């Protein structure tokens, strides 16, 4: 075999291995987005069911009821984060669905505040933005790991601004928070897609729990989508009179 033929043979072997790994990664990312879609479906179902069968349920809840719901969400999110390597995939998925259903119950309030047209418009715009950014993040060669610290600090600033707006309500402050929220969670979508992709690639072969990683990654993208939807709705939504 000549030197050229030998080199060509090695390249073919490496390409085959690369394609196999690429196919496995694509399968994993498809699982992530499938689980995210299931979470969004659970949220939509819970929101519609609550608004149709118990239209005033969430509006009648006391403040302490909402605090309990918030605490349950925090416990579930923390539990998923701390026990991702120890919980069976079915338990992790169950926690995700419970979380998504609680969010849906809270979202039933949106049907009392915003018009149906506004809700549908905000959802489809969110879906378009999310899909475009996620696709770009997945295919781009650009390293987005440097965004992490900046996005975290921006998220802290957004939370502090939300607290301030509770005591000092202002239309301009609300508009500014909503605008920053849309930009922030659009950027977080790109960052998280790349991070999930990197997490799969960097995980040692023997330690991969692909189903757990897929569910956990879907949970983060679900949060990005939901928050992007909320801030977009705040910007473009028409309230009921």
Question: Residue 1's CB: how many other CB atoms inside 10 A?
Answer: 8
Residue 193 placed within a domain:
yes
Segment 183-221, tens digit of pLDDT: 999 999 999 999 998 887 766 554 457 888 889 899 999
- In angstroms, the CA 167 to CA 86 distance is 42
Residue 30 placed within a domain:
yes
Q: Percentage of residues in the chain with pLDDT exceeding 70?
A: 80
Provide the domain count of the chain: 1
Residues of the chain with pLDDT under 50: 1-13, 62-64, 206-207
pLDDT at res. 42: 95
CA atoms within 13 A on the CB side of 215: 23
- In angstroms, the CA 120 to CA 233 distance is 10
Residue 241 placed within a domain:
no
């Amino acid at each position: 075999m000549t030197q050229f033929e030998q080199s060509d043979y090695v390249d073919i072997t490496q390409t085959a291995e690369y394609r196999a790994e690429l196919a496995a990664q694509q399968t994993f990312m498809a699982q992530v987005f499938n689980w995210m879609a299931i979470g969004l479906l659970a949220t939509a179902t819970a929101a519609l069911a609550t608004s149709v069968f118990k239209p005033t349920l969430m509006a009648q809840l006391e403040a302490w009821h909402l605090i309990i719901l918030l605490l349950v969400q925090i416990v579930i999110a923390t539990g998923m984060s701390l026990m991702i390597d120890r919980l069976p995939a079915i338990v992790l998925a169950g926690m995700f669905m419970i979380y998504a259903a609680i969010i849906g119950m809270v979202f039933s309030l949106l049907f009392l505040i915003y018009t149906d047209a506004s809700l549908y418009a905000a959802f489809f715009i969110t879906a378009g933005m999310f899909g475009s950014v996620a696709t770009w993040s997945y295919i781009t060669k650009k390293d987005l790991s440097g965004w992490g610290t900046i996005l975290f600090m921006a998220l802290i600033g957004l939370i502090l601004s939300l607290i301030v707006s509770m005591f000092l309500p202002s239309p301009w402050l609300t508009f500014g928070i909503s605008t920053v929220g849309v930009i922030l969670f659009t950027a977080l979508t790109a960052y998280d897609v790349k991070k999930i992709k990197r997490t799969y690639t960097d995980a040692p072969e023997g330690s991969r729990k692909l189903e757990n990683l897929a569910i956990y990654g879907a949970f983060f993208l679900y949060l990005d989508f939901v928050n992007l939807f909320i801030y977009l709705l705040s910007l473009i939504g028409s309230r009921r009179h």
